[in-house]
Amino acid sequence: MNKITSNLILVLVCFFHLSVFASVKFGKIEENTIDSQILGEGRELIVYLPAGYEDSKQKFPVLYVTDGDIQGSHTAGTLDFLAKFDLAPSMIVIGIVNPRNKRNEELTLTVKKEAQLDKLAGADRFLAFIEEEVIPLVKSRYRTLDYQALSGTSHGGQFAVNALIKRPNLFNGVIAISPSLYWNNNQLLDLTEEALKKGTLNGRLFISITNEEPTMTEPFQKLVELTKKYPSTNLNISIKKFSDETHDSTTLLGQYHGIKHLFLGWALPNTPQTLADLQLIYSSRSKLLGETMVIPEDRANGYGQWLQYLNRKDESLELFTWNRKTYPQSFNAHIALIKAYLHFNLTGAAKSAIEDAIKSINELSSKQKEELEGLLT
């Protein structure tokens, strides 16, 4: 990598970092109580709305987190950081509280007796609560996309894997951190093997473990072996082992790497990107979220300037022209194209672009008009 290219990377990185710091906003936390018919009691939900939620009409994907009073806040913070640097989308985080005295009952599998085969219990009952009561409530109260994910740690990780198996189309992505797979004599491993054999699982799964007792690590390794024995093209799996963490501390890293796996390929590369390159990335984002996503104006301008500095004339002009057409009321989009024309000594095109900007920008200030006209002097 030559010195000029290195300097260009630094310029682009600094530009994106400055744009983040210049627009720092904070999310909002809301507390809701849902009167559950399935659980037969009220249950607290802690809702973490992303930065900018209240100032827009945008819809957001949702991440549901068990043990929400413990795991919700740091998960929302991790997402906020990743989203600010465009490494993952902004998300609504729903922290579902599991009271300490009911946690085992709600998050773990139950061995059913014959007389109970027609009744939901344990993790299956709590999963029904989320599917039939929590998710509809969230969709009715907040602006949500259809994309939704689930994350859980320890017994919550067991619950997350069970949810993937029992409701393979309910969540687009699942994060299971240090899951208690040993429960009920490795019951969940048998269910997982059956599902992998049938090929019914899809979406993205992140599972992780740390330095723990063999009770935890041995069934985890068996799960890893099952995913290798029954590979699936429909289930994208990432497996991590955090050797320097404990069962309590591993959640912080697990959520970070888990979210990044759910949105693998989301980040924009720190290399020159053409219009076609960017459109491919945003097309992939749109497909993942089920919502059309368009290249933002500042991203198009940033990469257009990078291509301009590299004297890749046709590619930079194509990107700047697309940006002006897509954001016709943006002064920055117009002026970036004009400056590119001038950079490549296309004076006639620059003059026409200035005239176009003056005509098309509805609320053009006298100062902006003077700046445009001054570009040719």
pLDDT at 114: 42
- List C-alpha distances in Å: 35 to 23, 39, 158, 213, 263: 38, 8, 25, 38, 33
The helix/strand/coil state of 344 is coil
- What residue spans define the domains of the chain? 3-13+24-262, 275-376
pLDDT at 115: 42
Q: Answer yes or no: are the C-beta atoms of 27 and 60 closer than 8 Å.
A: no
Closest by Cα among 187, 343, 179, 182 to 251: 179
pLDDT at 18: 52
pLDDT at 120: 85
pLDDT at 23: 54
**Average pLDDT for consecutive 10-residue bins of the chain (377 residues)?**
54 54 72 95 96 92 97 96 95 97 94 60 96 98 97 98 96 98 95 94 96 95 96 94 93 97 95 97 96 95 96 98 97 97 96 95 93 90
CATH architecture of 3-13+24-262: 3-Layer(aba) Sandwich (3.40)
- DSSP per position, 85-105: TTSS---EEEEE---TTTHHH
CATH architecture of 275-376: Alpha Horseshoe (1.25)
